[in-house]
Amino acid sequence: MLARWWVYLLAAFLALGLIGVLLTGFAALVTIPTLPSLEALTDYRPKIPLRVYSAEGLLIGEFGEERREVVKISSVPERLKQAILAAEDDRFYQHGGVDYPGILRAAYSNFTSGGARQGASTITMQVARNFFLTKEKTLTRKFSEALLAFKIEHSLSKDEILELYFNQIYLGQRAYGFAAASQVYFGKSLEKINLAEAAMLAGLPKAPSRFNPVVNLKRAKTRQLYVLRRMRELGYISDTAFKEAEKHPLQVKRESQEFAMHAGFVAEMARQAVYERHREDTYTKGFKVYTTIRRLDQDAAYNAVRQAVMDYDSRHGYRGPEAFINLTQTGQDREEILEDALQEVTDSDDIQAAVVLAASTKSVKAYRRGGEIIEITGDGLKFAQKSLSSKAGSGQQYIRPGSLIRIRKNEKGVWHIVQLPQVEASLVAVNSHDGAIRAIVGGFDFNRNQFNHVMQAWRQPGSSFKPFIYSASLEKGFTPATVVNDAPLSFTAEETGSDQWDPRNYEDTYEGPVRMREALAKSKNLVSIRILQAIDVQYAQDYVARFGFDPKLHPAYLPMALGAGSVTPIQMAVGYAAFANGGFLVTPYFIQRIEDERGNILEQPKPVLAGESAKQIIDPRNAFLMTSMMQDVVQRGTATRAKQLGRADLAGKTGTTSNYVDAWFCGYQADLVAIAWIGFDNPKSLGNNETGGRAALPMWMSYMSKALKGVPTAAYTPPAGITTAKINPETGLREAHGTMTEYFLEEQLPPEANDKVDEAIKSVEDVIREFLSP
């Protein structure tokens, strides 16, 4: 009887098993036709962000929802592959998509532990889920996942499956794939990571948000040690390697995005350029933009702008703390209050936010994000000294416990109290021969203000526009030795196009008759106006259009002589480039080439070259004479500070607008033009004596000192048709024993002094003869 019951029981189990097999087979027959096509795998096209690079190939910008860098499995370090297999699927190369022993092992582990603690999804099943299915925990989804895994295994090789997994898996911090995660968490390419870092990355797929080392390093370390133990158990690493990796300190990047240089304005320009052509595909198709920006130039320009703005700001006094934090809130830990307050405040590169804990005239203790408490003393307090005095009272300018201040380390590593500046500035540098932009800094801080002052800011150029008026006068027969009266003038509203105008020189000083060379060097306003009167304003308006300026923005009225029109810094760079390159109009460009994700070149601009394909807009002799005159601006004019650079090949012009609203320095060396500007976004005075020579020139000098380091001094050779003559510096006339040598066009030599006297006598005789004739 007992034996018969066992037979019945066995038969029942077999019948149930057969029914289960039949039902599973039926379910498979029903489900298989509904499974998605594997085209997404066989023709893998992941979402790859737009990446922007410098001329050297350094990453300077990235745009896209998913950070991803697709790599071949053959290039993945063996230690990382082993770490991933140890953590996720150590029998990957043995099973056919579903690991049955693994399922039994997980089931047993979960049963004995009293809950679902261990999963049984293979790497192939994860690929199926990541590409085609949701993450809902249902039997239907799991069944479809297993069937898809079989289908994938049948269609792709093991290495192809692992490569898909490697590039597609989400690993936190917007990083998709292990190559992107390596950069995000450690700032390293895959081949440079060590065993400890490989184990940390391999532990992320299980729960990227939970084991993210940026969010919770302690929890990430626990997961890393699990991966290392599994690697040791499987014989991938030795006990010695395990112990070394266990003790190895992890240097995790705290910043979510770091680039090779500060080039946010350039990267945004590249994004806009690609978006105009490819719209939303810009962010997913893996386009790569290689720019003309050079690291040395960009770093020099960025630091020059930052320092010039901070120097200007320090000259105009401390405005007081940004805000006040109540440190005595009930029910909250003090450190929690401080961290919450600082969490809402954004740093500006090396200008960091801090909350004052204690303050006196001799010392300030402040709390920095992350828990560091610093003490500022001595020179570090000078800028804000008035706000530490008891005379500051209890107003907003008074620094006291709870004040939100800004701090910055100087070059010696000493903390100083500073403030976020309100003024803006920009610098652009261009190759004068082909228009390649070597550096663009469109503002003080791209993260605070994305308005690109180089490309978008229409400002009055002031006296930096005078060289274009002088160039026009050379075409009309004037010479560098032409004497013009430097004396006051007054004009009616009809002559100026607006109100009555009484122009003045800087500091209201006048020299009477003065040569044009001298007048440009000293930036004599009244001379420029008289020159414009003589050549005709309409002619000048048409003439400046040759340099790329819009005539409509430079009305044909006399204030044009003093730069009353509107320009952008990039326009000024193009205009000055014509003086530097011998009279050619170059087109500024910043994109070298655009590639697709496979490296195929989609676009590659062909720049016009000075002396070849570029349009000649002025006589090369005109360009030479203007360069010669603007060299004097540096050697003995309003930009003599630039002589500190110790170069004889620098030329340029300062620019200061009425009431010190805008300050410029536009200058060049034979191969490189740089334009520096500083001013407020809502135009207002920079303050008394904030001239181009004081506010903008130091910025230009700082950049040029680094950009031209090691570059031989250029020689400006007079072109054919230029001659020299000795002149009397008082009259501008030729004299055999003149004390000054001047350049002239061969056909425009001034008369000798004696000839001039003879002409005058003859003229007087003619007048008398006409008067006496019947």
Secondary structure (DSSP) of 479-504: -TT-EEEE----B-HHHHTSS-B---
pLDDT of residue 341: 87
CA pair distance 80, 283, nearest whole angstrom: 28
pLDDT above 80 (res 446):
yes
User: Which residues neighbour 78 within 8 Å (Cβ) at sequence distance 6 or greater?
Assistant: none
pLDDT tens digit string along 150-172? Answer: 888 888 899 999 999 999 999 99
Q: How large is the angle between the packed helices 139-155 and 2-31, nearest 10 degrees?
A: 70
- pLDDT category at 128 given cuts 50, 70, 90 is confident
pLDDT of residue 409: 93
pLDDT above 60 (res 399):
yes
What is the DSSP code (8-state) at residue 734?
B
Phi, psi of 418 (to 5 degrees): -135, -165
pLDDT tens digit string along 592-603? Answer: 999 998 899 999
CA pair distance 539, 349, nearest whole angstrom: 48
Q: Is 347 left (phi over 0), alpha (psi -120 to 50) or beta?
A: beta
CA pair distance 377, 382, nearest whole angstrom: 9
CA pair distance 674, 702, nearest whole angstrom: 11
Average pLDDT over residues 680-709: 97
Identify any residues that bridge with 404 across adjacent strands, giving them in sequence order: 323, 355
pLDDT above 90 (res 498):
no
Please list the active-site residues: 88, 463
Helix, strand, coil share (%) of the chain residues, nearest 5: 45, 15, 40
Minimal CA–CA distance to 653: which of 642, 661, 644?
Answer: 642
pLDDT of residue 29: 45
What is the DSSP code (8-state) at residue 346?
-
Minimal CA–CA distance to 661: which of 637, 630, 634, 696?
Answer: 696
pLDDT above 60 (res 285):
yes
pLDDT of residue 289: 98
Give pTM, 2 decimals. Answer: 0.84
Phi, psi of 93 (to 5 degrees): -80, 0
pLDDT of residue 429: 98
Average pLDDT over residues 369-388: 92
Average pLDDT over residues 549-557: 96
CA pair distance 702, 714, nearest whole angstrom: 19
pLDDT above 60 (res 182):
yes
Secondary structure (DSSP) of 230-260: HHHHTTSS-HHHHHHHHHPPP----SS---S
> Residue 513: how many CA atoms within 13 Å on its side-chain side?
9
8 A C-beta contact, residue 555 and residue 497? yes
Minimal CA–CA distance to 384: which of 357, 408, 367?
Answer: 408
In 294-397, beta strands by DSSP E? 323-324, 352-359, 363-368, 373-377
Q: Token digits for 194?
A: 């060590």
pLDDT above 70 (res 73):
yes
pLDDT tens digit string along 623-655? Answer: 999 999 999 999 999 999 999 999 999 999 999
8 A C-beta contact, residue 372 and residue 380? no
